[in-house]
Amino acid sequence: MLLLITYMNLSEFLLSLIAFSPAELLDITSHFEKENISKDTMLIEQGEISKKLYFVEKGMGRSYYLKEDGKEVTQWFFGVGKFMSSVDSFFQQSPSLYYLETLEDSILYSISKENIDILFSKYHKMEQFGRLVSIEMLTKVVNKLNAIQFQTARERYDYMLAEFPNIAYRVPLGHIASYLGMTQETLSRIRR
Amino acid sequence: MLLLITYMNLSEFLLSLIAFSPAELLDITSHFEKENISKDTMLIEQGEISKKLYFVEKGMGRSYYLKEDGKEVTQWFFGVGKFMSSVDSFFQQSPSLYYLETLEDSILYSISKENIDILFSKYHKMEQFGRLVSIEMLTKVVNKLNAIQFQTARERYDYMLAEFPNIAYRVPLGHIASYLGMTQETLSRIRR
DNA sequence: ATCCCTTTTTGACATAGGTCAAAGGTAAAT
DNA sequence: ATTTACCTTTGACCTATGTCAAAAAGGGAT
Q: Residue A5's pLDDT is what?
A: 56
Q: What is the mean pLDDT of chain B?
A: 93
Asked if A88 lies within 8 A of B142 by C-beta distance, the reply is yes
Q: Do A138 and B139 touch (CB under 8 A)?
A: no
What is the percentage of chain B residues whose pLDDT exceeds 70?
A: 97
Question: For chain A, what is the mean pLDDT?
Answer: 93
For residue B150, name the pLDDT band (cuts at 50, 70, 90).
Answer: confident
Which one has a higher pLDDT value, A112 or A70? A112
Q: In the prediction, which pLDDT does A3 show?
A: 41
Whether the predicted pLDDT of B3 surpasses 50 = no
Q: Please name the residues in contact with A80: beta carbons below 8 A apart, sequence gap of 6 or more.
A: A5, A6, A7, A8, A56, A57, A58, A59, A60, A166
> Of B134, B144, B146, which is closest to A135 when you measure between CB atoms?
B134
Question: Cβ separation of B148 and A181 shorter than 8 Å?
Answer: yes
- Nearest nucleotide (C1') to alpha carbon of A192: D9
Provide the CA A90 to C1' D29 distance, Å, integer.
Answer: 56
Which of A41-45, A166-170, B39-43, B89-93 is the least confident region?
Answer: A166-170
Which pLDDT score, from 0 to 100, does residue B75 have? 95
What local confidence, expressed as pLDDT, does residue B14 receive?
A: 98
Report the candidate in B121, B135, B85 with the shortest Cα–Cα distance to residue A128: B121
Backbone angles phi, psi at B34, to 5 degrees: -75, 130
User: Least CB-CB distance to B135: which of A73, A91, A144?
Assistant: A91
The model's pTM is: 0.92
Phi-psi region of A70 (alpha: psi -120 to 50; beta: other; left: phi over 0): left
pLDDT at A7: 87
Using the structure, give the distance in angstroms from the CA atom of A54 to the C1' atom of C4, rounded to a whole number.
62
Query: Is the pLDDT confidence value at A4 over 60?
Result: no
B67 touches chain A (CB under 8 A): yes
Nearest nucleotide (C1') to alpha carbon of A183: C18
Q: Which nucleotide is nearest to A156 (CA to C1')?
A: C17
CB-CB under 8 Å, B120 with A67:
no
Q: How far apart are CA A84 and CA B112, in angstroms?
A: 32
What is the tens place of the pLDDT at every residue in B13-66? 999 999 999 999 999 999 999 999 999 999 999 999 999 999 999 999 999 998
